[in-house]
Structure 1
Amino acid sequence: MRRYGPAVLLLLTGAAILRISLFSTLYLRYVQAGLRPYLVVSGAVLVVLGAVSALTARRAGGEEHEHDEHPGHHGPGVAWLLALPALALLLFPPPALGSYSAEREAAARAAQGVGTFPELPAGDPVTLTLGEFGSRAVYDSERSLTGRTVRLTGFVTHDAEGWYVTRLAVSCCAADAATAKAEIRGADAPPDDTWITVTGTWHPEGELGSEAAWPPAVDVTSVERIAEPADPYEKR
């Protein structure tokens, strides 16, 4: 059976990729939605290659049996361990990045200049991503958040200063995730990694563009626990 090791590895990897991209939306835990077609094609190609490899190994095994009375080994048994990661992805896909990843990000952020932003939509509450809220709170010279009620969604994180509604923003995949968050004032904190939607008003602090203005704060009027969304990341 050792001769079938490469085929099994290809089949398991391909099946795992298809499971998270073709038959579910689990792929959104790792990459942007636009990469789904590439994942599906990659998974299908791996499955086809695995099937071809299995057929080739079977034919080679038959010929070897006919011409070699003492066939040799086809590789070390430990090679089967290479199938374990693919099997784990197929059966137990890892969760999206959460509070642990958010807390490990360096405090420094890419420099941005203070300036103006497009006008906010009419009506309250206005739903914003945490990235949008943070940019306006820290860099908007016209203070467009003043007097507006906002709705923000993310997961809970804590540090020594308080607790936050947090979201990870990605450009391509989970590997380039950056943290966007807002400090919550006026409500008790749920446990880490609890997904919530908060409604409240911006609490200005610090000079625009300064470290004192980060992270922005929200005086909340409501905190609603929600299920983790299918796409847990914001796009940046």
Structure 2
Amino acid sequence: MRRYGPAVLLLLVGAAVLRISLFSDLYLRYVQSGLRPYLIASGVLLGLLALVRAGMEARAAREGAVSADGHAHPDENEDAHGHGHSHPVGPRLAWLLTLPAAALLLFPPPALGSYSAAREDAQRAAQGVGTFPALPAGNLVDLSVAAFTSRAIYDSGHSLKGRTVRLTGFVTHGDDGTWYVTRLLVSCCAADATTSKVQVRGTDAPETDTWVTVTGTWHPKGRLGSSAAWPPLLDATTVRQVAEPSDPYEKR
């Protein structure tokens, strides 16, 4: 059975990749949607390699069992006394891959949340103050947390002034009783995630990591483009708990 170990390992890893990319949207917890075809191709390729490896091992076992004259010969791993000595194929450390593969297959890790957001400092590199495009007309504007943050901190035209906006994100808490609607932004995958958050005022704080949709108006603070303007404030009128979206990250 040990001779089929590498094939089993390849099949397990391939199945785990297909589990999150082909048969569900779980891959969105780790990478952007544009990488899905590459994940599917990788999973299929790993599965095919597993079948090829298993076929090669089965063929070698059949050819090694009987010689050309039809007499059975001892397996090459057995000594003169008939005792088998198993020699592992490939490095033993490769078997450690079964642990993350099995975890990904059976218990996919959740998306990054409040712990990841808390690790990032509140310092922001100056992006330059300037004007932003006008917001869509209407009584209520849906914005990403990142878009609201950029406009609140850097928009010299104050496009948020007097507008009712709606933001969706997960809840994080500050040390002084404040709470925030928060999203993580990714460029490629979860490894490069950065935090965007808005402090919510006027309502009680939901539990940490709860996903909510907050409706309210911008409350100006600090000088534009300065650290005093971070994080921006939102005077909330309603806070509604929602389900975590299939794609929990905002894109840069």
Q: Determine whether 1:235 maps to 2:241.
A: no
Q: 1:82 to 1:35 in 2, by over 3 A?
A: closer
Q: After the TM superposition, which residues 47-86 of structure 1 pair with which residues of structure 2 at under 5 Å, given as runs?
A: 47-66=47-66, 67-69=73-75, 70=78, 71-75=84-88, 80-86=95-101
AA at the equivalent of 1:104: R
Q: Does 1:102 align with 2:102?
A: no
Q: Which amino acid aligns with 1:72?
A: H
Per the alignment, residue 70 of structure 2 pairs with: none
Equivalent residue runs for 1:210-229 within 5 Å = 210-229=226-245
1:151 aligned residue (150, 156, 166)? 166
Q: Which amino acid aligns with 1:110?
A: A
Deviations 1:128-176 (A, max 9, x none): 0010000000000011100000000000001213110000011111011
d(CA) in 1 for partners of 2:108, 2:210: 19
Cα contact 2:122–2:230 (8 A) shared by 1? no
Which of 1 and 2 has greater Rg? 2
Unpaired segments ≥5 residues, structure 1: none
In the TM superposition, what whole-angstrom CA distance separates every residue of 1:58-94 from its partner, at most 9, and x where no partner exists?
2223344444341531328775443121111111111
Match of 1:165 in 2: 181
- Equivalent position SS for 2:214: strand
Is the contact between residue 216 and residue 235 of structure 2 (CA under 8 Å) also seen in structure 1? Answer: yes
Query: Residues 77, 134 of structure 1: CA spacing in aligned structure 2 closer, same or farther, 3 A cutoff?
Result: closer
Unaligned runs of 5+ in 2: 67-72, 79-83
**Structure 1 residues 48 and 220: CA distance shift in structure 2, 3 A:** same
Structure 2 distance, partners of 1:206, 1:82, is 50
Q: Percent identity?
A: 69
Where 1:143 maps in the other structure, the secondary structure is coil
Q: In the alignment, does 2:2 pair up with 1:2?
A: yes
What displacement does 1:55 show? 1.2
Distance change >3 Å, CA 13–CA 201, structure 1 → 2: same
Aligned residues: 236
Task: Report the CA distance between 1:9 and its aligned residue.
Answer: 1.0
**Residue pair 1:154, 1:167 contacting (<8 A) in 2 also:** yes
Distance 1:165 1:233 in 2: 13
SS of the residue 2:136 aligns to: coil
* Cα deviation, residue 41, structure 1: 0.6
SS at match of 2:102: helix
Shift of 1:196: 0.3
Matched position secondary structure for 1:179: strand
Within 5 Å, which residues of 2 pair with 1:7-26? 7-26=7-26
User: In structure 2, what is the Cα distance between the partners aligned to 1:100 and 1:63?
Assistant: 56
Normalising to structure 1: TM-score of the pair?
0.95
Question: Matches of 1:79 and 1:169 in 2, distance apart?
Answer: 33
For the 8 Å contact 2:123–2:227, the answer to whether it is kept is no
Q: Which moved more, 1:108-117 or 1:143-152?
A: 108-117
Q: 1:119 aligns with which of 134, 141, 144?
A: 134
Write the letter of the residue equivalent to 1:189: A
